[in-house]
Amino acid sequence: MSTSQKLFHEAQKYIPGGVNSPVRAWRAVGGDPLFINRGKGCRVTDADGREYIDYVSSWGPLIAGHAHPQVVGALERVVKNGTSFGAPTAKEIELAKTLTQTIPSIEKVRLTSSGTEATMTALRLARGYTGRAKIIKFSGCYHGHTDALLVRAGSGALTFSTPDSQGVPEAFSSMTLVAEYNSLSSVRAYLEADPEGVAAVILEPVPGNMGLVPPEQGFLEGLRELTREFGVVLIFDEVMTGCRLARGGAQEIYHIDPDLTCLGKVVGGGLPLAAVGGKAAIMDVLAPLGGVYQAGTLSGNPLAVTAGIETLKLAHAAGAYERLNMLGDMLAEGLRTAIRETDIKACVNQIGSMFTIFFGVDPVRDYESATQSDTETFARYFRGMSEQGIYLPPSQFESAFISLAHGEDEIQETLRAARSVLQNLGS
């Protein structure tokens, strides 16, 4: 028995399923999860001393790679002065200012500790601001585990076939309308049916939680027009894409000006930090200025804020996003070539440093096509890649992430492994 297996066995005695977040249990791909001892750059080392090229990147935050000296050094200096005060600190202003300067639609920002808190706050703000109750979300988009948003949700909920979670009373989710991603008509139909009833449309502009799915031309622009027409708050959940696909996230690439944006992952640099930001007129409805309540004991703590500030400095260095895009293109093109060399049906969706390989279906453009994918073949691919030293997200319905610590050598090493695994799958 490996050390990881022994640890997993022990963990299950005290932690439900042995994990503190369900996808980590590897149930969708079979086998026992690796316990990770340490990470450096683009590699992680498991409890048995095996090294892997890491494409989980802690599910997105580690755009600078593991244990970057600049981030670690800053954290070491800050931790000596205390970890949390429950009072304002100057560093919070620095991060908030950076975010408003980086993402033009964000005029004011409130820091939270998790993406779930950010989306929960965004919805409450939209409802408080408009005085309306309903919200529209999209099948396969995941916005954390808030009750109202665990409806047709992606990520772990989809991985474990619980897109509508138990424990959410119908009364809580009855105000959630579910539209189809990349379908403007499905949104228009809801808005026309109740023109004054919908407070917000929330979406991942580039969903990463049903696997990566790109927006079709005109979809995001059309949503912006529709929401303006009906006085609805447009919320971009850029927890995955913010400061990752570009400095200003997906909204910069697609030239959209949402009313509210949720951030997380990269902006916390690997520590628990997220944010909700947007137009001052809406943000100022938050307590203590307005009547929408939100709070958090560890919100904006100096450690998390420091990791965020230093990580954003690294991500914003000249040429960083160009490099991430180049590596992403190289990996995606290489995977497509490797697929073509076999008789396997699969497609690779990729934007910049985010990508997913879907088996058994081509193209994947929404929840319906994503859920038609062959998860059994994905599981075999995942296990094959793991044996070759490549650590991928353990679910078909997640995105993989490249960091600035990856290089062309690691991409080529990954492609060599993928070619060999794909050829075995095909035979």
In this complex, which beta carbon is closest to ligand HOZ, that of residue 209 or of residue 414?
A: 209
- Least Å distance, CB 278 to ligand HOZ, is 23
- Least Å distance, CB 140 to ligand HOZ, is 12
In this complex, which beta carbon is closest to ligand HOZ, that of residue 132 or of residue 143?
A: 143
Cis amide leading into 214 (omega within 30):
no
In this complex, which beta carbon is closest to ligand HOZ, that of residue 208 or of residue 248?
A: 208
Task: Give the position of tokens 């622009």.
Answer: 221
- Let me know if 237 is a catalytic residue: yes
Q: Which of 46, 237, 259, 366 is catalytic?
A: 237
Partners of 236 in the β-ladder? 203, 261
Rounded to 5 degrees, φ, ψ at 39 are -135, 145
d(CA 116, CA 121): 9
In this complex, which beta carbon is closest to ligand HOZ, that of residue 157 or of residue 276?
A: 157
d(CA 197, CA 13): 47
- Least Å distance, CB 59 to ligand HOZ, is 4
The residue number whose beta carbon is nearest to ligand HOZ equals: 21
d(CA 237, CA 206): 9
d(CA 74, CA 69): 8
- Let me know if 142 is a catalytic residue: yes
- Let me know if 80 is a catalytic residue: no
d(CA 138, CA 142): 9
CA distances (Å), origin 120, targets 113, 117, 142, 237, 410: 12, 5, 12, 11, 38
In this complex, which beta carbon is closest to ligand HOZ, that of residue 149 or of residue 282?
A: 149
Q: Which of 91, 108, 134, 265 is catalytic?
A: 265
In this complex, which beta carbon is closest to ligand HOZ, that of residue 25 or of residue 276?
A: 25
In this complex, which beta carbon is closest to ligand HOZ, that of residue 19 or of residue 330?
A: 19
**Per-residue tokens: 262:** 């949720």
Task: Give the position of tokens 């408080």.
Answer: 128
- Least Å distance, CB 159 to ligand HOZ, is 9
Give the residues lining the site for ligand HOZ (CB under 6 A).
21, 23-24, 59, 155-156, 209, 398
- Least Å distance, CB 134 to ligand HOZ, is 25
In this complex, which beta carbon is closest to ligand HOZ, that of residue 21 or of residue 424?
A: 21
- Least Å distance, CB 100 to ligand HOZ, is 26
Amino acid of residue 105: S
Q: Are 282 and 260 in contact (CB under 8 A)?
A: yes
Amino acid of residue 330: M
- Least Å distance, CB 66 to ligand HOZ, is 15
- Least Å distance, CB 396 to ligand HOZ, is 12
Q: Are 248 and 272 in contact (CB under 8 A)?
A: no
Catalytic positions, written as ranges: 142, 237, 265
